[in-house]
């Protein structure tokens, strides 16, 4: 178990285009239980899964390895200067890079919102990698009204002038 278990162990992986991707890992490194891979929503990151990861990683009878990914441009992953690479196809390819780098053949995917979209795309790209899927805050169809609501939410986010203000904004969100 890493010394800083509350935040997991940081692992950095190269995407196909060389961008540095961050993955948090918790739980036993070796075991016979299928790992869990958590994929966050559009403006979120791996920290959203700390509670879930701690629960499964520390399970008294059946602990398992849990990974939570920061998509490009979020969390501790690198920022891509090409804005066109911020799409679910590139993010799905990034997940495949993570799976290859961590030698994961099959996992349980937990996808929240955009992470759920990436999970659904992966079922077409690499169906054998999906041992099970939990989709949170996403369904098979995305309504236009929902997309408008997300866009308005992101536009209304206050822009911090300094770090302390950024922290306070995140606490209220």
The predicted pLDDT at position 83 comes to 94
Q: Given this model, what pLDDT does residue 101 score? A: 98
Q: Total structural domains in the chain?
A: 2
pLDDT computed for residue 10 by the predictor: 96
Maximum distance among all Cα pairs of the chain, rounded to whole angstroms: 48
| pLDDT at site 81 | 95
- Do 59 and 102 belong to one domain? yes
My answer on whether 11 and 70 are in the same domain is yes
User: C-alpha distances in angstroms, 147 versus 100, 137, 159?
Assistant: 32, 13, 21
162 and 89 in a common domain? no
Instruction: Name all contacts of 157-164 with Cβ < 8 Å and 24+ positions apart.
Output: 157/43
116 and 160, same structural domain? no
Tell me, what's the pLDDT at 155?
A: 72
Segments forming the whole domain that contains residue 161 = 144-173
Task: Say how many residues make up the chain.
Answer: 173
Residues 148 and 125 reside in one and the same domain: no
My answer on whether 134 and 154 are in the same domain is no
d(CA 164, CA 173): 14
120 in the same domain as 90: yes
Give the model's pLDDT for residue 50: 94
**Dist. CA 48–CA 23, nearest whole Å:** 12
Q: Are 48 and 66 in contact (CB under 8 A)?
A: no
Region for residue 137 given its phi and psi (left: phi exceeds 0; alpha: psi -120 to 50; beta: otherwise) = left
Helical segments of the chain, H only = 50-57, 88-101, 114-125, 144-156, 163-172
Q: Which pLDDT score is estimated for 119?
A: 96
- Mark whether 107 and 162 lie in a shared domain: no
The parts of the chain modelled with pLDDT lower than 70 are: 1-6, 140-142, 146-147, 150, 153-154, 173
pLDDT at 59: 94
């Amino acid at each position: 178990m890493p010394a800083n278990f509350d935040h997991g162990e940081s692992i950095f992986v190269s995407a196909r285009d060389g961008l540095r991707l961050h993955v948090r890992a918790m739980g036993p490194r070796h075991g016979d239980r299928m790992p869990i891979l958590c994929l966050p929503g559009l403006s979120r990151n791996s920290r959203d899964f700390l509670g879930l990861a701690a629960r499964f990683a520390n399970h008294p009878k059946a602990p398992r390895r849990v990974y939570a990914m920061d998509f490009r441009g979020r969390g501790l992953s690198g920022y891509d200067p090409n804005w066109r690479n911020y799409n679910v196809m590139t993010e799905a390819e990034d997940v495949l890079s993570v799976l290859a780098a961590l030698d994961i053949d099959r996992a349980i995917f937990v996808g929240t919102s955009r992470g759920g979209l990436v999970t659904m795309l992966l079922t077409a790209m690499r169906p054998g990698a999906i041992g099970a899927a939990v989709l949170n805050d996403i369904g098979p169809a995305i309504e236009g009204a929902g997309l408008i609501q997300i866009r308005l939410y992101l536009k209304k986010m206050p822009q911090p002038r300094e770090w302390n203000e950024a922290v306070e904004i995140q606490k209220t969100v």
